[in-house]
Amino acid sequence: MRIGIQASYSGDFKQTAAAIRDLEAAGLDVAMVAEVYTFDAVSQLGYLAAVTERVELMSGIFPIYSRTPALIAMTAAGLDFVSDGRFTLGLGASGPQVIEGWHGVPYDAPLQRTREIIEICRQVWRRERLEHAGPKYTVPLPADQGTGLGKPLKLINTPVRDRIPVLLAALGPKNVELAAEIAEKWEPIFFHPERADEVWGASLAAGRAKRDPALGDLDVVVGVPVAIGEDVDHLIEAVRPGIALYVGGMGAKGKNFYNDLARRYGYEAEAETIQDLYLAGRKDEAAAAVPADLVRATSLIGPESYVAERIAAFAAAGVTTINVQPMDDSRENRLRTVETMRRLAG
């Protein structure tokens, strides 16, 4: 099992990069940079490429609506170049709050857009003349839609790799099926090892049945809050607000993917309560309503022996990369966490 980490949204990114460089020396395999309504991830990934040597760099994620398909492909090729072939393109639909509320573009047809974007990216990386006539993206535009001057072009530069790995963040049945079919990697959220097969097993099986063998096995990348020690149980409480934010606040009634996931896990009543409280502005009460067993199942908090058992449970459920979210409050403790995870994960 590989060990990764996700860079913090806030704080001094130069300090974060220095920490990731130290963690790389401690055995870190993957460094992921998110992009929501923060600083862009591209500049940060480029900075990381310059100060690291071995760790895989991953966008986690670029929203599919915020760049054209060709720009996504160009950006991925550029990051792969400056990192000497260490970049993975993480993509996802994000959600209406970010896409419509921040980017100001309609949130529509995420499945079709994702499929076409990946098809276009792979054409670009192979340096083929770009021709695409999908329902959502047509390249080049035909004369009756453009100036009539468009013609197929190919990437001027030669990429380091003609197939950069793609990660898809996905939760819904059809999205997960698509990830298992066309992506090298899949990233769920709030991964519950004991209930994952019930929720996603059929979708993964359907996608894998259509998967190109050239893609290899699907790498399952899961973010997990981590605190290892004999006196860390109180940190369970620090996990609750994050779950409450997503389950309660990331979308309206009936339009919250994370709330839907909690319901599919079997927490229908709890998910409704969390959302009602959160949307009413009672965030502390919403956090308190997050079920303790959901918190424990989706985190790694406890003595080393317990964490080792839970790592084994994640592995048995198909997880191949754990992105640790260290809950330690010092550089030394974060390093120790990664070193311990590296040892326990084997």
Q: Do residues 81 and 111 make contact, with C-beta atoms less than 8 angstroms apart?
A: no
Chain mean position to CA 95? 13
In tens, the pLDDT along 117-168 reads 999 999 999 999 999 999 999 999 999 999 989 999 999 999 999 999 999 9
> What is residue 311's predicted lDDT score, i.e. its pLDDT?
98
> What is residue 300's predicted lDDT score, i.e. its pLDDT?
97
CATH class of 2-223+302-345: alpha beta
Q: Do residues 59 and 4 make contact, with C-beta atoms less than 8 angstroms apart?
A: no
Where do the domains of the chain lie? 2-223+302-345, 231-301
> What is residue 332's predicted lDDT score, i.e. its pLDDT?
84
Q: Is the pLDDT of residue 213 over 80?
A: yes
Q: How far apart are CA 10 and CA 116, in angstroms?
A: 33
Would you place residue 255 in the very low, low, confident or very high pLDDT band (cuts 50, 70, 90)?
A: confident
185 forms bridges with which residues in the sheet? 167, 219
Helix (H) or strand (E) holding 342: helix 331-345
Q: Do residues 227 and 337 make contact, with C-beta atoms less than 8 angstroms apart?
A: yes
Six-digit token string for 23: 């963690």
Q: How far apart are CA 21 and CA 167, in angstroms?
A: 23
In tens, the pLDDT along 35-84 reads 989 899 999 999 999 999 999 999 999 999 999 999 999 999 999 999 99
Q: How far apart are CA 218 and CA 291, in angstroms?
A: 30
Q: Do residues 46 and 79 make contact, with C-beta atoms less than 8 angstroms apart?
A: yes
> What is residue 279's predicted lDDT score, i.e. its pLDDT?
96
> What is residue 196's predicted lDDT score, i.e. its pLDDT?
97
Give me the amino acid identity at 212.
D
- Mean pLDDT confidence for 212-240: 96
Q: How far apart are CA 205 and CA 208, in angstroms?
A: 5
Helix (H) or strand (E) holding 312: helix 304-316
Q: Is the pLDDT of residue 346 over 90?
A: no
